[in-house]
Amino acid sequence: MKLCNHIRFDLTYGLFRREMWGKYIIWLGFFALASLDFAGELVSIEATQYTYGDYLLRIFGGMREYVPAPGEPFEIPYLWLINHVGILYFTLHYMHDDLEGTGWQMILRSGNRTGWWLSKCVWNAAVVVGLYLIAWGTVFLLAGLNHAVWSFGISPFMAEIMAPGPCQLISASWQVTLEITILPLLATLAVSQVQMLLCLMLRPAVSYVVSIVLFLSSAYKLSPFLPGNYAMALRSDKIISNGVSQMTGIEIHLFLILASVVLGNLLFQKYNILNKED
Amino acid sequence: MGKIGTVTAMELKKAFATKKFLLGTILLLTFSLLSAVYMIQSWAGYNPEQLVETCVKDGEFTRNPNLPLFGFYKAWVGGDGLSLAASLFYTLLPVAVALPFGWSYYVEQKNGYLKNIYSRVDKKIYLAGKTIAVFLSGAAVVAVCLSVNILLVLAKIPLISPSAWYNLYNQVKFGTLWADLYYSVPGLYVLLYSLLTVLYGGIFALLSFAAGCWFRNVFAVLFSPFLLMMIAGYMETVIQGRIDSQIPIEIVPTQFLHPESAHYLIIAWAVSLVTAVLIVASLLTIYFRGVRNETL
C-alpha cells in the first residue's frame, strides 16, 4: 500500500467520520461564544472602531507575563488553554484507536510502517489546521457581522483590555499578525506531533498530561524554552520588551515537528503493534 | 458480610492493588512535593531563628518581617497561590483521581467482564459496590498527596497564625468560606479544606465513572472531569463578566478548592450547591444508565 493510499484513507475516514463532526460543532460553538463575549466587551467599553486583529488578539493572545508575588496568585488563562488542550485532546486517540482496530492489519498487509506513520502525521496536521480554520472562520464571521474593520492591525484600546504588563511597548508599534495567526497554530501542531511521538513511548493518557503540563508551564513562566510562550502574542517581543521572538518560535516549532516525525518513524519501525490495550 | 460487602471488598481490592492507582498517586504527589519544596525554599528564610540575622539589629527590628505572610498557612498546597506546582496540583486533580479506577466500568463493559459478573450478582449491588470503590480510590489519592504535603511543610515551616491586618495579601477574603476559622482556628480551616478536597477527589472519580456510562472512548472517560472544569472555568469568566453582580461568586471546584488562587469569592452556599449537584448528577447517571444498560 502506497503512502498516498494511507493518507487518502486517513483523510477521508479520520477527518470526516461521524465522531469528528460532533467535535467540529463543539469547536465552532466554543469560538462563537468567545467572539460574542468579546463583542460584549467592546460594547461595554464603547469602542466604535475595531479590527479582526483585535478579535484574534483577544482570543489567541494568551496572558501577560506572570510574576509571582504575595497577593497576586497565578490565574489560569482558560480561553487560551482550552484552544490548545482542546485540539490536543481531539488528536489524542485516533492513532491509538486505529492501531487497536484495523491499523495493525493495514500495516501487516502493506508492510509499510513508514507510510502508516507518515499518514498519521499528515492526518494530525490536517486536524489541527482544520480546527484552526473553523476557529478563524467563526471568529471572522462574527467579527464581520459586528462590523469589524478588515485589518490585522491592533487598535490602541486593546492595550487597556489586554494589559500586557510593566514591560509593554507603546501600542502603536504592535504589529503581531503572525503571533495571532500562524504561531498559535504552529505551537499546537508542534506539541500535537510531539504528543503523538510520546504516545509511542508512554500511554496516550500520560502523554496528554505531559502536553497539559507543558502549556500550563508556558502560561506560568515566560521562557524561550517553553513553546507555549510563542503562541501568546502578549509574550511577543513586539508587545513587551522582554518578550520572545517570533522567528525563534517558528524555528523551534518547525524543528519540533520535523524531529517528532523522524524520531517517531524510527521508533515505530520496532513498535509492538499487537495486543494493544487501554 | 452481606453481598454488597463482598462486592465492595472485591472492587476495593481491584481499585487499590493496581499500577494505575500508583500512577494517579505519583502524578498528584509530584506536584504536591514540588509545591512543598518551592515553599520551603522560598519561605525558609523567614524562620524565626533566621529572622534574627536578617531583620534584627542591636535588639530591635530593622524591618517588618511580615511573619503572618510566611507561615505554614500560606505554604501548604492549599495556601500556596504562587507556585506552578500548586496550580498543576489542582488543575490535574480531576485526571489523577480518575486514573486509578474511574475508567473501570467502561473497560469492564467493553471487555465483557460485566456480562460475567451480572450473571452472578444483582446489577444494583454491583454498581453500589463499584461506586463506593471508585469514590474511595479517588479520595485516597488526594488524601495521600495532601497528607504528604502538609506533613512536609509542617516539618519545615513554622505555624504562624494569619493576621487580618494582612488581608490585602491573603486571598481568604472576609465573608468567604470558613474565613472566620482562618483567622481564629487556622488549623481547623486547613483540616476542613483538606477534607473538602478529599471529598472532591471522590466526586471527580465518580464523574469519570458516570462519563463511562455515556462515552465509548476511554480517553473521554478519563479526561471528562478535567475538560468539564476547563470549560466551567472559561464559562465562569464569561458569565461573571456579563452579569452586573456586586458579589462575583466562585463556582468552579478546581478554583474554590484552592482558595489562594480563586478568581471570585468562595461562598458556602455556592460550594454546597455545586457539590450537591455534582454528586446527585453522577449518582443518578450511574444508577439509571448503569441499571438500564442491557449488557446481557
Average pLDDT over residues A176-185: 93
Minimum CA–CA partner of A86 in chain B: B227
Per the domain annotation, does A275 fall within a domain? no
Q: Is B83 on the interface with A (CB under 8 A)?
A: yes
The pLDDT of residue B77 = 94
List of chain A residues whose C-beta atoms are within 8 Å of the C-beta of residue B263: 75
Cell triple for B30? 509530584
Domain that holds residue A121: 3-269
* C-beta atoms of A93 and B241 within 8 A: no
Closest CA to B151 of B16, B29, B65, B66: B29
A to B CB pairs, distance under 8 Å = 84
What is the average per-residue pLDDT within A161-169? 80
Q: pLDDT tens digits, residue range A53-76? A: 999 999 999 999 999 887 788 999
Q: Is A220 on the interface with B (CB under 8 A)?
A: yes
Question: CB distance A78–B237 less than 8 Å?
Answer: yes
Contact list in B for residue A73 (CB cut-off 8 A) is: 81-82, 171, 260-261
Mutate to test the interface with B, among A18, A19, A75 (most CBs of B within 10 A): A75
Chain-chain contact of A37 with B238 (C-beta, under 8 angstroms): yes
Q: Which residue of A has its CA nearest to B220?
A: A89
Q: Report the half-sphere exposure of A28 (CA within 13 A, side-chain side).
A: 11
User: In whole angstroms, how far apart are CA A140 and each of A44, A134, A155?
Assistant: 21, 10, 16
Q: Quick one: average pLDDT of B242-249?
A: 75
Measure the CA–CA gap between B244 and B28, rounded to whole angstroms: 37
DSSP string, B97-109: HHHHHTTHHHHHH
ipTM over 0.90? The verdict is yes
C-alpha torsion sign, points B234, B285, B203, A90 = negative
Predicted local confidence at residue B206, as pLDDT: 96
Which residue of A37, A206, A220 is in closest CB contact with B241?
A37
User: Which residues of chain A lie closer than 8 angstroms to B171, CB-CB?
Assistant: 71, 73
Q: How close A208 comes to chain B (CA, Å)? A: 10
Query: Best interface-test mutation with B: which of A76, A79, A213, A221 has the largest number of B CBs within 10 A?
Result: A76
Is it the case that residue A278 has pLDDT exceeding 60? no
- Predicted confidence (pLDDT) at residue A216 exceeds the cutoff of 70: yes
| CB distance A74 to A68 below 8 Å | yes
Which pLDDT belongs to residue A99?
Answer: 86
**Residue B18 in 3-state DSSP?**
coil
Of A40, A73, A92, the CB nearest to B82: A73
Residue A68 is placed in which grid cell? Answer: 509571582
Chain A residues whose CB is inside 8 A of the B105 CB are none
Residues 6+ apart with CB under 8 A from B152: B33, B36, B40
- What is the C-alpha end-to-end distance of chain B, expressed in Å? 28
Q: Name residue, grid cell 510531539.
A: A194
Q: For residue B274, what are the CA distances in angstroms to A11, B209, B213, B234, B257?
A: 42, 18, 21, 16, 12
Cβ contact, residue pair A216, B84, below 8 Å: yes
Contacts of B91 in chain A (CB under 8 A): 76, 212, 216
| pLDDT over 90 (residue A128) | yes
Side-chain-facing half-sphere of B45: CA atoms under 13 Å: 7
Per-residue pLDDT, A275:
62
Nearest CA to CA, how far is A30 from chain B (Å)?
9
Cβ(A87)–Cβ(A192) under 8 Å?
yes
* CA A103/CA B270 separation, integer angstroms: 48
Which of B36, B46, B103, B92 has the alpha carbon at shortest distance from B69?
B46
pLDDT band, residue B61 (cuts 50/70/90): confident
Q: Where are the domains of chain B?
A: 3-292
Q: Round the average pLDDT of chain A to a whole number and report it.
A: 91
Number of domains in chain A: 1
pLDDT, position A31 = 96
Whole-model pTM over 0.80:
yes
CB contact under 8 A, A68 and B82: yes
Asked if A274 reaches chain B (Cβ–Cβ under 8 Å), the answer is no
A79 touches chain B (CB under 8 A): yes
A271: alpha, beta or left? (left if phi > 0; alpha if psi -120 to 50): beta
